[in-house]
Each structure stands twice: as structure tokens, then as C-alpha cells.
Amino acid sequence: MEIFGLLADGFATSLSPLNLMIVILGVTAGLFIGAMPGLGSVNGVAIVLPLTFIVPPSSAIILLAAIYYGAMYGGAISSILLGIPGASTAVATTFDGRPMARQGKAGLALIAAAVASFVGGTISVVLFTLFAVPLADLALAFGPAEEFALVLMAFTTFVGLGGDDVLKTIVMICLGLVLSTVGLDLISGQPRLIFGDLPGFYSGISFLVLAIGVYGVGEILYTIETSRTSPSVTPAKLSFRALGEGLREMNKLWKTMSFGSVMGFFVGMLPAAGATPAALMSYGMAKTFSKKPETFGRGNIEGVAAPETANNAASTGSLLPMLTLGIPGSPTTALLLGGMVMWGLVPGPMLFIEQPDFVWGLISSLYTANVAAVLINIALIPLFVWALRMPFTVLCALVLVLCIVGGYAPSQKLHDVWLIALFGIGGYLLRKDDYPLAPLVLALVLGPLMETSFRQALISSQGNVFTFVERPLSGLFMALAALFFVLPLLKLLRQRKSKPPAVAE
Amino acid sequence: MLAADRIIALALMGLSLYFMWHATVLPIGWTDGSGPGGGAFPFWLSAVMLLASGGILLRSILAHPHEGEKFFPDADAIPQVAGVAGLLIATIAATHVVGAYVALMAFMVIYLRLFGRHGWGLIGILTLATPVFLFFFFEVTLKILLPKGITEPLFIPLYAKFF
């Protein structure tokens, strides 16, 4: 098996002292970020990205992936101890995690969450390893037409499956795409949308500026509003007995955990879905198939295990299309993609051919990150209980300082810092009015690819628009995109049909 | 919420028109044999944005207001959110003049005192430790110089020592 050889080579990279240290550092940082109410993987990656200039590019990506993993584990901590999800991905964990903590079983719930995250993470990384090469091989046959159709399909999943307001989703996708066109036209090289010749706009709007604005400043403003009263931290005692009991309990839940992992992985691959719906679906499934569904919501350990396996599996799943196709499966992976492009490691099938050391080093580091995360998570539980008592205003001040300095550092322009403040305040207002922000960030990252592939495909077909539907793969993606796009309309029609005509009041 | 919905939709419509106006600098039409011109992508996407936000506006006008409709939910948080946003803007503006270090230290003191109501001990530690960390991380290790404004001369002895 060729994969095993490649993976073994990868471990040679990821187990080097520097990378091992980076994984441990990243996972620990991620656990803390994830545990803080309001901050999740996407906020952590956005805020920390400018700090990763300190290590070589390939290690920087491993660091970010480790933070991503750590934050997925950490989200459960505040769900259980505070009853507030550390990130939206851990919402479903509060359903049974909080009641368990109230019953004095916080330690057991934390162990269950950590072990479940480990199982979900590991099963999904194995799936990732198996699917990566075939998918990258398939993507090698992609031309500009296929690339355009694929990006279009990724956006239409937000419209069809995202669950947010359709019109607001469309506005956000278009806004992101328009912002991505600021700067120099990629084909003719002429400046456009530079708003009265402002020099700062010539180099375009960096994904990092939007991400720090929306997920750093915007998130802090949002959290200031939602966490005006300080929540109470439930104490968690941890003993080896609880650990043993936790492992025995988890041993009975293999069916739930393996199902949650596989489902989470595939749901995570879709750009519009991801860890939050995967966790909710897994919770719902576990409850439906349980012999005692009435115990769910009252402190059933299965209700902690099911969402935690699925959200970790989904985070791995969302890495797969990012690395193999160059299409991120979640906002966090969109930031990883942006970071990789910034460092000259362009994701996509060619990366597997040109940079196999890096690709397999990254994949193998996901295995080590999982092991590190579960160990550090369980070992540091007392520290998390202490850290959650940190006043929110201190965290807030430090994050805002990092947003300002981190936004300035990459291109050293105060222009970017102003944009961060603008995007932060704008993003906060849009979020309050229920505009989804994930499509905005994804659109800004994918915009240049979408436009160049569209125009290249047309140039090579001498302006023939049918090139997008005549090529088989591209045609298939376009058909799926059309289907996703009309899905909300079909749903609406079905609702109208099934609803009896309204009686006049 | 409907009123806020309308204001935001109107603002987005204005933004779309502004983008469309700027996009017309490059050709927005179809060039025979090579597809759309350089301005087409931003222009037509802004047009879609205009239509969609127009749709949101229209929908909110047609919708009946709910019982107990509020302009903006959680209105009691507005002073605090607006205060932090204003402080952030003031900090960035001050960075142009007095540099990042002084501006960020002032930001931390004001924020931690006014919004966090922390004691002077904690404020002192955080306000002094943060710039030291920033200096060693960004300037010494990464060689990224932060803006210093009029405080630049104060840093010359430090440059001499660490570079």
C-alpha cells in the first residue's frame, strides 16, 4: 500500500522535535481558546495566524491545524462547566453536559467529551487518509471550467443547505466576491474598485483582514453583548476512579461514536454544513436510536459523546476538500487555505505531487494532534476550571490588542487596521441582523479562483459559455449547483402545498 | 427588528450602488471571443447584491410587525458595545500620532478601568507586560516594526541594543 509508505514518511516530518513541540503548543493554545466562551476554532485561527510568522511555513500550518483541533476539543469544556457553548460547534454538548455537571458529574462529562473527541478525530483522520489520494487524483483532471463549477457548487450549498435566510446568504456571498475583486484585475492587470485611488486598496483586501475583523473584533463585540452577566463555573473534581469509570462507560458507546464519526466526517466536507449541524444531527440520531430516549437532556453520557465525536470528525472532514481540491469545507479551513496561499503552499491536487513531504507531514500531524489533545485535555482539566474564572474583560482587552497588532503585522499598513475595525463593527451589525458570516469569508477567499477560472475557461473556449455544461464533470457540478440553488424554492412550494389555505380572520 | 432590518438592507443597497459605480471604470460588458471584461465580475455581482438586499427591504415592508417589536434586541447593551467600538477607533486614530505602544497602553488602561472595573494592580501589570511582549515578539524576533509616531526617538536606544 502506497499510502502507508507516504504516511510513514509524513510521521518522520511530524515527529521531528520542532513539529512535535508545535503540535503540543498549538493543541494547548487551542484548548484554552476553545474553552473560552465565545471564542472557537475560527476565532483562534484568525487571531493567532499573524503570530505564526515566527516558525517556518509548513510548521505554521501544522500549528494552525493543531489549534483547530485543540479548539474543537476545548469547546466542550465551557459547555459543561459554564453551560455556555465555547463555540457554536459545542452547542449540542450543553444539552447533556450541563445536567451532568449539575449532578456533580462534571469530571465524568469532561472525560467523556475528551474521549469522544479523540474517537471522532481518529476515525475521521483514518477516513481522511484513505480519501485524500483518490480525491486529489480526480482533481488533477480539473480544468478552469471544472474549478469554476466546483466553487459555484460550494456557494450554492450555502443557499440550499445552509439553513440561513436565502436572500441574506446571497447578499453575503456577493459581498465577499465583490470584496475579493478589489485591487488589480487578475487578467488585465488594471486597478479596479480602489475607491478614489486609495493606495491601500491596490494590493486588494486580505482574507486575514476580513477574518480578524469579523471573527476577532466582531466576535468580541458580540460576546460583550451576550455575556453581560458572569456565569458560574461548576467545579470539576477529577480522580483516577472517575477516569476509569469514564473509559468503561465510553466502551459501551462504540456504536454511537462510530456512527457519529463517519456521519460527521461527510457532513463536515460540505462548505455550508460543518461541525455544528453534524453535532446536532449526531445528537438527534443517538436519541432516536437510544433504548431510553427520555434520559437525553437529563445528563445522559451518550448525549455528550454523540455530538463531540461528530464535531471533531466534521472538522477533519472539512480539511479534506480544502487540501485536495482547494475548496474549504468551513470558515476555519478557509483561513487555513488563505494562510497556505500566503506562504506559497497552494492547496489542491498539485500540492500532493509537488510538496508530498508537507502534505503527509500535515496529515500525520493530525494523528499526533489527536493523541496530544486527549492527553493534554484530561491532564489540564483543573487548569481550565481556573482559567474559566478569568474575567472576560481581561480576555477581551488582550484579544483586541492582538487584533490591532496582528492585523498590522502582515503588510505593515495602518490602512488594514482601519479595515479591521470597519469589518468588525460591520460584521457585528450584520450578525445581529441574522446575516450569515461564513459565506462572506469563504467568498473572499475563493473569489479570485472563481473569477480567474471563469474567465480562463471562457478565453480558452473563445467565449463559448456552454463549455461549463459540455464538459462532463463540470456539467455535473453545474447541475448540482442548480439543484442546491432551487432547493429553498422547492421546500417553499412543498410547504405551501401541505399547508391548508389560510382562513380569513 | 424590522426597522433595523430595513436600515441594514438600505445600507447594503447603497453599498452595492457604490461598488457598481466604481466597477464601471473597467469594461463591464462581454468581449467577443474572450468573455467578460475586467469590471464585469464586480459590477454584476454588486447588481445581484442590490437585487437581493432590495428583496430583503421589500419583504420587511410587506411583513407585519410582531407583537412587542423592538428596534434592536438587547438594546441595553448598546452603550457598552458602542463604547468599546468607539475606544477601538480612537486607539487606531491615536496610533497614527503617538504610535502603537502608547495608544495600546492607553487603550488597556481605559478599557480595563472603565469597562472591566479592575484594580490598579492588575491594570498596571497587564498594561506594562503587553507592550514588552509585543516588542520582543514582533520587533526583536520577527523584525516587524510597529508604528511609533512621535515616540520614535524613544526607541532608538532600544534599537541599538537589540538589532
A138-178: per-residue pLDDT in tens?
A: 888 888 999 999 999 989 988 888 778 899 999 999 999 99
CB contact under 8 A, B46 and A424: no
**A503 pLDDT tier (thresholds 50, 70, 90):** very low
Dihedral pair phi/psi, residue B142, rounded to 5°: -90, -10
Give the ipTM. 0.93
pLDDT in tens, A216-240: 999 889 888 876 666 677 777 777 7
A178 touching B (Cβ < 8 Å): yes
Domain count across chain A: 1
CB contact under 8 A, B53 and A397: no
pLDDT in tens, A322-361: 999 988 988 899 999 999 988 888 898 899 989 888 999 9
CB contact under 8 A, A190 and B145: no
**A1 pLDDT tier (thresholds 50, 70, 90):** low
- Give the distance from residue B69's alpha carbon to the nearest chain A alpha carbon, in angstroms: 14
Tens-of-pLDDT digits for all 163 residues of chain B? Answer: 678 889 999 999 999 999 999 888 888 888 777 778 888 889 999 999 999 999 999 998 888 766 566 666 667 788 889 999 999 999 999 999 999 999 999 999 999 999 888 999 999 999 999 999 999 999 998 888 999 999 989 998 988 888 8
CB contact under 8 A, B111 and A400: yes
Question: Scanning every residue of chain B, which has its alpha carbon at the shortest distance from the alpha carbon of A451?
Answer: B41
Q: How far is CA A455 from CA A31, A388, B108, in A?
A: 43, 51, 48
- Give the distance from residue A429's alpha carbon to the nearest chain B alpha carbon, in angstroms: 8
Per-residue confidence (pLDDT) for residue A31, from 0 to 100: 92
- Rounded to 5°, angle at Cα A373 from A367 and A379: 140
Cα–Cα distance measured from residue A260 to residue A266, given in angstroms and rounded to the nearest whole number: 10
CB A60 within 8 A of CB A50: no
A164 touching B (Cβ < 8 Å): no
Q: What share of chain B is helix, strand, coil (3-state, %, to 5)?
A: 75, 0, 25
Question: Scanning every residue of chain B, which has its alpha carbon at the shortest distance from the alpha carbon of A416?
Answer: B92
Cα–Cα distance measured from residue B43 to residue B153, given in angstroms and rounded to the nearest whole number: 47
**A213 pLDDT tier (thresholds 50, 70, 90):** very high
- Which chain A residues are closer than 8 Å to B39 by Cβ? 192
Q: Write down the pTM of the prediction.
A: 0.88
pLDDT in tens, B122-135: 999 999 999 999 99
Helices A302-325 and A106-140 meet at what angle, rounded to 10?
20
CB pairs under 8 A between A and B: 175
What letter would DSSP give residue A184? E
Domain residue limits at A61: 2-504
Select the residue of A177, A181, A401 nearest B130 (Cβ to Cβ): A401
- Which chain B residues are closer than 8 Å to A168 by Cβ? 52, 56
pLDDT in tens, A285-330: 898 888 888 888 888 999 999 999 999 999 999 999 999 998 898 8
Question: Scanning every residue of chain A, which has its alpha carbon at the shortest distance from the alpha carbon of B1?
Answer: A433
A4: which residues sit within 8 A by CB, 6+ positions away? none
